[in-house]
């Protein structure tokens, strides 16, 4: 059966009637016409605090407020468990947060983060390792070897991780972080695993290195403690994060360190799923990876930028202090954050058993 088609005049009338009805329904349902969401007056950004937050403030918080009028409020660090609970209970009350990159990778794996909108900024200028689907690295720190200068000099200290993990070659008390990530990487390199083939970590090799060191080993559990052990002479050589010893060295404390064979560890930024100011959070992230702002950050604290254009804006004195500057990054390796997100639980179990064994 052939149905007579309505005239174009009738079709136009029908479309108008439908659109008018939809608009009326929308008003009836909401009580008022659509109004664009107001820009927030403040945004909350949990972070590690201390010197890091001070550097964040001058480089990122203040510049974002000047650009947008939005005041950034710092807040205490939120670890994986707290972020997970916040998202799962639909109680997200922060906008974007600073978190260790291994924790960011774990949260991404659990589906608790918003994807990063890379249309907001140009990721082509970032280090290749920095731009992840659900998190962005925002600085480069280093897990490095430091020594007490009353025991060792730059010439006599352990030259590499193999000598660090062999007290018979270089006598002295050692210190390591009492946690599997970072410690097992340098232990594996100490056993001979090549830094350019560090993942997956040869765990048997790493634990053999730890076995060799066990009688000469002091553990630390905080960055401040790691530095004090070396500076105070309780250990002769140990691992530290570079930001913990650079000022002490400059102030004349008996400590020195090297970026040779460093393990790059990074801060990242994530947006928890369900964040109320997601658009503004993405804009804040764009402000964080801006080349000029990254350079300002690296001048305030000796952590390297992830925007490669920032190096051109830094003087030679600043570059000497940064883990990933051209002169310091030749023998370093990035930690594989996604590896720890996937393999972490089983490795933590083995490491904790070794500690009490």
pLDDT digits (tens, 9 = 90+) for 222-267: 999 999 999 999 999 999 999 999 999 999 999 999 999 999 999 9
In this prediction, residue 50 carries a pLDDT of 86
Q: Which CATH architecture has domain 141-265+334-356?
A: 3-Layer(aba) Sandwich (3.40)
Domains 42-139+266-321 and 141-265+334-356 share a fold: yes
Residue 29, pLDDT above cutoff 50: no
Provide the 10 A C-beta neighbour count for residue 241: 21
Grade residue 37 by pLDDT with cuts at 50, 70 and 90: low
- Could you read off the pLDDT of 103-152 as tens digits, one per residue? 999 999 999 999 999 999 999 999 999 999 999 999 999 999 999 999 99
Question: What pTM was computed for the model?
Answer: 0.84
DSSP secondary structure letter of residue 243: G
* pLDDT, mean over the chain: 91
In this structure, the dihedral spanned by the alpha carbons of residues 69, 75, 50 and 106, taken in order and rounded to 10 degrees, is -110
Q: Is 3 in a helix, a strand, or coil?
A: coil
Query: Domain limits of the chain?
Result: 42-139+266-321, 141-265+334-356
Which DSSP state fits 244? G
Other residues' Cβ atoms within 10 Å of the Cβ of residue 252: 7
CA 107 to chain centre: 13
| Percentage of residues of the chain with pLDDT beyond 90 | 87
Residue 221: partners with Cβ closer than 8 Å, 6 or more residues away: 177, 178, 179
- Calpha distance 108→115 (Å, rounded): 9
Instruction: For domain 42-139+266-321, give the fold.
Output: D-Maltodextrin-Binding Protein; domain 2 (3.40.190)
The model's pLDDT over 120-131, given as tens digits with 9 standing for 90+, comes to 999 999 999 999
Category of 49 on φ-ψ map: left (φ > 0), alpha (ψ -120 to 50) or beta = left
User: What residues does 241 pair with on adjacent strands?
Assistant: 143
pLDDT for res 38: 84
Asked whether residue 35 carries a pLDDT value surpassing 80, the answer given is: no
Omega before residue 200 within 30° of 0, cis: yes
End-to-end CA distance of the chain, in Å?
86
Mean pLDDT of the 326-348 span:
96
- What is the chain's length? 357
């Amino acid at each position: 059966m052939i149905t007579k088609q309505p005239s174009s005049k009738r079709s136009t009338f029908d479309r108008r009637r439908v659109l008018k009805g939809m608009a009326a329904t929308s008003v009836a349902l909401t009580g008022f016409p659509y109004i664009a969401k107001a820009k927030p007056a403040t945004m909350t950004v949990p972070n590690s605090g201390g010197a890091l937050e001070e550097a964040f403030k001058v480089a990122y918080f203040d510049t974002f407020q000047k650009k947008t009028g939005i005041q950034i409020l710092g807040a205490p660090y939120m670890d994986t468990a707290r972020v997970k609970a916040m998202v799962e209970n639909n109680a997200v009350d922060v906008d974007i947060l600073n978190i260790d990159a291994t924790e960011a990778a774990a949260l991404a794996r659990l589906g608790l983060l918003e994807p990063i909108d890379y249309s907001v900024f140009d990721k082509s200028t970032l280090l290749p390792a920095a731009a992840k689907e659900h998190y962005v690295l925002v600085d480069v720190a280093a897990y490095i070897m430091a020594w007490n200068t009353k025991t060792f000099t730059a010439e006599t200290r352990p030259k590499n991780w193999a000598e660090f993990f062999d007290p018979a070659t270089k006598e002295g008390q050692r210190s390591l972080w009492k946690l599997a990530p970072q410690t097992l990487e340098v232990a594996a390199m100490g056993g001979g695993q090549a830094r350019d083939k560090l993942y997956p970590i040869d765990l048997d090799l790493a634990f053999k290195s730890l076995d060799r060191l066990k009688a000469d080993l002091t553990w630390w559990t905080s960055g401040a403690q790691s530095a004090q052990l070396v500076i105070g002479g309780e250990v002769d050589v140990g691992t530290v994060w570079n930001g913990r010893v650079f000022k002490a060295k400059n102030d004349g404390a008996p400590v020195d360190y090297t970026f040779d064979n460093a393990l790059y560890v990074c801060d990242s930024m994530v947006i928890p799923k369900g964040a109320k100011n997601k658009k503004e959070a993405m804009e804040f992230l764009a402000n964080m990876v801006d080349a000029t702002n990254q350079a300002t950050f690296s001048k305030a604290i000796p952590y390297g930028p992830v925007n490669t254009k920032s190096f051109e804006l830094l003087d030679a004195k600043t570059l000497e202090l940064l883990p990933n500057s051209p002169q310091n990054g030749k023998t370093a390796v990035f930690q594989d954050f996604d590896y720890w997100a996937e393999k972490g639980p089983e490795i933590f179990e083995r490491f904790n058993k070794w500690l009490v064994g």
